[in-house]
Amino acid sequence: MYIQQIRNATLVVEYAGKRFLVDPMLAEKGSYPPFPNAPREDQNNPLVSLPTTIDSIIQNIDAVIVTHLHYDHWDEAAKEVLPKEIKIFSQNEEDATEIRNAGFQNVDILTEDTVFDGIQLKKTKGEHGRGEVLKMAGQVCGVVFTHESEKTLYIAGDTVWYDAVQGVIDIHQPEVIVLNAGDNQFNQGGSLVMGKDDVYEVYKAAPNAKIIAVHMEAVNHWTLSREELKSFADEKGFLSNILVPDDGEAYSF
Ligand SMILES: [Zn+2]
């Protein structure tokens, strides 16, 4: 498999010969107002530019996976540039309806046993925060990719560490795990995605996996930088297990 970090949670994943686009936020730097009541309220999102052209990101995409509809995962620019007949997987009927209403004709709902061209795509649970903030954050999902010719890939999505993440790791033993690890937060309510302690829990649950930390430094409410995560991983002794890509960086496994 080949995984390219684009920006925020947007990834290009080539897996068993198919090319997936995950959580496309494709707008130019500064297109949207910041998330309110959060750090860097004076800066528009995205905070940074795309590392490459939109054309090179969306060319030859076989399917798009949208883990939820927050605009840092599915934005107006993506709706404009993606072909309306492209295959899209969404987490539930509600999201699928909204995506269809934007003109997309080929939207499916991810399940526990979705198969796309021989690739198993298993929807996984996520919790987009802890406690009260969850009501506002809404439903999210992740996905596990499996195929006989590939290592198992777990893209956890916008979730904090909790028992269901442990469960996915126990059941699927993924060799590659993508975590949204910018510890994004509002001024109140705590982490909305993984912070460094959550990443450490994932490492302890999957000490042989490669962890790729994304969703960093791209939207205003991030609180964990790449540098801080790397030095924390170094301190805790798992720096060699974690990859913290710059935008545009890619890996093959
Ligand atoms: Zn997000």
Which residues are within 5 Å of ligand 1 (an ion), measured at CB?
A: 72, 158
Query: 88-107: per-residue pLDDT in tens?
Result: 999 999 999 999 999 999 99
CA–centroid distance, residue 171 to ligand 1 (Å):
25
pLDDT computed for residue 191 by the predictor: 97
> What would the pLDDT profile of 207-239 be if each residue is shown by its tens digit?
999 999 999 999 999 999 999 999 999 999 999
Q: How far is the CA of 26 from the centre of ligand 1 (A)?
A: 14
pLDDT digits (tens, 9 = 90+) for 182-212: 999 999 999 999 999 999 999 999 999 999 9
Question: What does the pLDDT read at residue 28?
Answer: 98
pLDDT at site 26: 98
pLDDT bucket at 165, cuts 50 / 70 / 90 = very high
Q: How close is the Cα of 148 to the center of ligand 1, in Å? A: 30
Is this model's pTM higher than 0.95 or not? yes
Average pLDDT across the chain, whole number = 98
Q: Which residues have C-beta within 8 Å of that of residue 9, sequence separation ≥ 6?
A: 22, 23, 25, 67, 72, 73, 157, 158, 180, 214, 215
* pLDDT number for residue 118: 97
For 38-61, what is the mean pLDDT? 98
Q: Mean of the pLDDT values across residues 55-77?
A: 98
Report CA(23)–ligand 1 centroid distance (Å).
9
Q: How far is the CA of 82 from the centre of ligand 1 (A)?
A: 20
pLDDT of residue 124: 98
Residue 165 in contact with residue 159, Cβ under 8 Å?
A: yes
What pLDDT was estimated at residue 50?
98
Amino acid identity for residue 7 in this structure: R
C-alpha 156 to ligand 1 mean position (Å): 11
pLDDT at site 248: 98
Ligand 1 centroid – CA 30 distance (Å): 16
Q: Which helix (H) or strand (E) holds 94?
A: helix 93-101
* Closest among 207, 184, 186, 206 to 196, alpha carbons compared: 184
Which residue spans within 67-167 are E strands per DSSP?
87-90, 107-109, 114-116, 119-125, 141-146, 153-155
At 78, phi and psi to the nearest 5?
Answer: -65, -45
Q: What is the pLDDT of residue 197?
A: 98
Rounded to the nearest angstrom, the distance between the alpha carbon of 181 and the centre of ligand 1 is: 10
- 176 pLDDT band (50/70/90 cuts)? very high
